[in-house]
Structure 1
Amino acid sequence: MKYSIIFFLVFVSFSFSQTKNEKEERIKAYEFPEIPLDYFNTISSNVKYLKFYRETDGTKKSFEAKFKYNKQHYSVEFDTIGNLEDIEIVIRKKDIPKTVLMNISKHFDDKFEKARFIKIQKQFINTTPKTDKQFLDYILKKPNNKHTHFEIIAEIKTKEHHQLRELTFDKDGTFEKSRIVTSASYEHALY
């Protein structure tokens, strides 16, 4: 009995950690962390549709700026004190290099009966000695430079499930992680 309870608790906690249940709330610029807000003041004349958001997923809070720059849709995420977490750019399936797309497609073919890509993003995480501001400026100037990950929201079907999932692959198309996207997260995940 004791082991059954322990197994159940581990299973439940693992299940919850694998679900994307974010809530996103649009906020005014003055509610955004001050340091990264200044980053956008220097590029605001070239940015369209700049909007600020506060995100919570139950345990983690973050801030996100979304905008269009040079015909590309960006989302830039910061932690609560203003440190850059990642930069994402929405892309199309045809923008993924062929060999990388083959690796990603193989994962989908092996794991799911059917899959439909809803949103694809290339993701940049600053692993360089550049400051957050320098890294953001660098990516804005060179969005086709090397990125670190692909993040794909897909509608998938297995024998047991029909669900939305967010899957992360490294730059070579090797699968890293997956989590279910809840309906509450679905709306804002599409931009």
Structure 2
Amino acid sequence: MKYSVFIFFFWISLSFAQAKNEKEERIPLSEFPKIAQNYFNSFSHKVKYLKFYRETDGEKQSFEAKFKIKKLYYSVEFDTEGKLEDVEIVIKEKYIPKSTFSEISGYFDANYRKTRLLKIQKQYVNYTNRSDKAFLQHIVEHPNDRHTHFEIIAEIKTDDLHELREFTFDKNGKFEAYRKVTSSSYEHALY
């Protein structure tokens, strides 16, 4: 009995060690990385709101700008130096091509007893020759342009497990990675 209690607590501690446990704090523009502060000037007149955040997850710090343009919710993440990490746009399942969604669904069906998709985002990473500012401007002007990944927050169940996870799939729906999302980061992760 005492060994099973020890194993249970050991397993719990490992689960928390690998979890996405982000803390998000709203900040003024003046605390946002200087190089990225003017990236939003060219389209700020179109933005419904524009908010800036500092994120920490225990190991890494980053900065994020969130805004809405023409019913699309954007999230733009930067490192501490102001280098663009990615641009994400929240989408609905129906906007994923059928063959791609079939690939994603196949992954979930093969690995989990039950899955509930909570948030889907198209993710854009700047692999082009454009500057970060020009790349962001291009994505805002062409939100249906080719993206690089899908990021999905899902509630998954197996016979032994029930948890939230953030999954990354490539643009064709091939699984790349996941990480556990803790309940403390759940609310802001859903935007």
The normalised TM-score by structure 1 is: 0.91
Gaps of 5+ in 1: 1-10
* Alpha-carbon distance, 1:158 to partner: 0.7
SS of the counterpart of 2:41?
helix
- Aligned equivalent of 2:69: 69
User: CA deviation digits over 1:63-106, x for unaligned, max 9?
Assistant: 00000012100000000010000000000000000000000000
SS of the counterpart of 2:119?
strand
- Aligned equivalent of 1:172: 172
Q: What amino acid sits opposite 1:26 in the alignment? A: R
SS of the counterpart of 2:49?
strand
Gaps of 5+ in 2: 1-10
Change (3 A) 1:75 1:138: same
Q: What amino acid sits opposite 1:46 in the alignment? A: K
Written as runs of structure 1 = structure 2, the 5 A alignment for 1:1-191 is 18-191=18-191
Change (3 A) 1:173 1:43: same
Q: What amino acid sits opposite 2:66 in the alignment? A: K
**Matched residues, number:** 181
SS of the counterpart of 2:37?
helix
Q: Percent identity?
A: 63
The normalised TM-score by structure 2 is: 0.91
**Cα distance in 2, alignment partners of residues 13 and 187 from structure 1:** 22
Q: Check conservation: 1:169, 1:177, Cα contact below 8 A.
A: yes
SS of the counterpart of 1:164?
strand
**Cα distance in 1, alignment partners of residues 107 and 67 from structure 2:** 31
Q: What amino acid sits opposite 1:129 in the alignment? A: N
Q: What amino acid sits opposite 2:110 in the alignment? A: D
**Cα distance in 2, alignment partners of residues 49 and 72 from structure 1:** 11
Change (3 A) 1:127 1:185: same
- Superposition RMSD in Å: 1.6
* Alpha-carbon distance, 1:48 to partner: 1.2
**Cα distance in 2, alignment partners of residues 141 and 55 from structure 1:** 26
* Alpha-carbon distance, 1:36 to partner: 1.0
**Cα distance in 2, alignment partners of residues 175 and 20 from structure 1:** 18
Q: Check conservation: 1:67, 1:74, Cα contact below 8 A.
A: yes
SS of the counterpart of 2:145?
coil
SS of the counterpart of 1:66?
strand
SS of the counterpart of 1:160?
coil
* Alpha-carbon distance, 1:17 to partner: 6.3
**Cα distance in 2, alignment partners of residues 89 and 65 from structure 1:** 12
**Cα distance in 2, alignment partners of residues 120 and 139 from structure 1:** 17
Moved over 2 A (4+): 11-18
**Cα distance in 1, alignment partners of residues 12 and 161 from structure 2:** 18
